Amino acid sequence: MRLHDLTETAFDPDAVTRVGVAVSGGSDSMATLHLLAGRYQVAAVTVDHGLRPEAAEEARFVAAACARIGVAHSTLRWDGPVPSGNLMDQARRARLRLVGAWARENGIAHVALGHTADDQAETFLMRLAREAGLEGLSGMRRRFEAEGVIWHRPFLAATRAELRAFLTARGIAWVDDPSNANERFDRVKARNALQGLAPVGVTAQKLSAVVGHLAAAEAALGAVLHGFAMVHVNEDRGDLVIGAGAFAAALPPELQRRLIVAALRWVSGAEYAPRATKVDNFLAELPEHRGRTLHGCRMTSSDAEIRITREANTVAELRVSAGQLWDRWHLSGPATAGQEIASLGAEGLRQCPDWRKTGLPRASLLASPAVWQGETLVSAPLAGLENGWKATIAAGSFLSSLLRR
C-alpha cells in the first residue's frame, strides 16, 4: 500500500501522463520502472558510461525487461572524455546531461530517478563528513529542474528493502553493480557506516526524517531570500545588481552569503558553488568597494549597488556555431553559413559606437555574446548593434533559479 501511494502521488496526475525513467538495472531503478509503468505512459533510458565491461550487458538486460512490459527503451552511450577526479559525481553529471538531452529530443518533460531513503541517508552522512551546512544537509530534493527537464525522485521516502521486496514478490530480477561494494567510493563507506549505526537506532528512515526537518528549515530561509530578491535584486541584461544598502541592513551574514553564492552561480552558469572562503573574503572587503573576480564573474560594489557580471577572460576563447548555446546565452537572428557566436571583446566593442547609450558597464559588454563572420562583427545585441539579432538568457530568470534550488 505504501509503494502504491507513492506511485499515485509521484506526479501531478492532471499535468503528467508521459514520463521518462532512468534505469540502470539495479533494484531501485527496476522497481521505479515497474511501479510507474503500471500508472503512467513510460519511456525508459539507460546510460552506458563505458567504465565497466558489464555495462553493455546490463543495458541489454534492461532493454529485455522493458520489452516484456511493453515499455520503449533507449541506451545512451557516453562517448566524451572519461570522467576523472570524483568518479561517481562526474558520472552522475554525465548521466544528467545525456538523459536530459534524450528527454528533450523525445518531448519528455519529466524524468524519474530511483533514489531511496537509503540514498538520502548515505548522502547525509557523506555531507556531514564534509562539514556541510544546512543547505547541504537538507539532502536530495524530491523534485528539481536541470538540463531543461523536471526530475523526480518518487520513492525517496521508501527504503531499498521495500523496493526489493516488491520486485521479489513479482519475480522481477535486477542486477548488482559491483562498484556498490567497492569501499574506494565514499558512498559505499557511508552505506557501511549506516549499517554500523543500526544498533543505536539510527536507520535510513530516521535519517531521512531528519533530512526532511532540515529541508523545511532550508525552504523557510529560501523563501526569505526570494522575498528579498524580488525587491532588491535586478537583472540587467545578464548582470545582477543588488541594492547595497538593503543587502547590508536587511540580510544577516548567512543570507548575504547565500545570495552571493546564488548570484555567482546564475551569472556564471556553474554547477558548483564557489569556495566558501573566497565568498567570505569578498563579503569582508565589501565596505572597501574593491573589485574582485570570483567563480568566473567580475564583482564590483559602491554605496548604491553590488554588480555581478560575467568575467571577460573566462569566455574569451569560447566560440560556437551560430544557433548553438553560447555560455548561458541563446542568440537568434538571420544566421548564415560560417557565422559563430563569441564574446564581444575589446575589438568588437570598438565597432559599437553607441555602446555607452546601452547603460551597461564596459566590463559587462566585453563578456557579452556577439555574432562574428570570421573577424567581422555582425551583431552585438547587448551593445546596441542588433542587425536583426536578439540575445536571451537560456537558464531563465534569477528569481526562478532561486525557486528551483
The mean pLDDT value for 239-260 works out to 96
Give the start-to-end residue ranges of the domains of the chain: 2-210, 237-310, 316-393
Q: Sorting pLDDT into bands at 50, 70 and 90, what band is 182? A: low
Q: What pLDDT is stored for residue 218 in this prediction?
A: 92
91 vs 212, residue with greater confidence: 212
Collapsing DSSP to helix, strand or coil, 239 comes out as: strand
14 vs 193, residue with greater confidence: 193
Q: What pLDDT is stored for residue 181 in this prediction?
A: 63
Asked whether the predicted pLDDT for residue 183 surpasses 80, the reply is no
The mean pLDDT value for 182-193 works out to 82
The model's pLDDT over 340-358, given as tens digits with 9 standing for 90+, comes to 999 999 999 999 999 999 9
Distance CA 325, CA 331 (A): 8
The mean pLDDT value for 3-26 works out to 85
Asked whether the predicted pLDDT for residue 175 surpasses 70, the reply is yes
Range of lowest pLDDT (158-162, 185-189, 341-345, 367-371): 185-189
List residues bridging with 385 in a β-sheet: 380
Q: How far apart are the first and last CA of the chain?
A: 31
Helix (H), strand (E) at residue 48:
strand 41-48
The mean pLDDT value for 146-156 works out to 91
Q: Sorting pLDDT into bands at 50, 70 and 90, what band is 178? A: low
Q: What pLDDT is stored for residue 272 in this prediction?
A: 81
Q: What pLDDT is stored for residue 92 in this prediction?
A: 78
Tell me the pairing of strands 149-152 and 233-236. unpaired
Q: What pLDDT is stored for residue 13 in this prediction?
A: 60
The model's pLDDT over 44-55, given as tens digits with 9 standing for 90+, comes to 999 987 667 788
237-310 under CATH 3.30.465, yes or no:
yes
CATH superfamily label, 2-210: HUPs (3.40.50.620)
Query: Is the distance from CB of 45 to CB of 101 less than 8 angstroms?
Result: no
Q: Specify the amino acid at residue 371.
A: V
Helix (H), strand (E) at residue 305:
strand 305-310
Q: What pLDDT is stored for residue 81 in this prediction?
A: 56
CA neighbor of 308 nearest in space, from 318, 316, 296:
296
Q: Sorting pLDDT into bands at 50, 70 and 90, what band is 248? A: very high
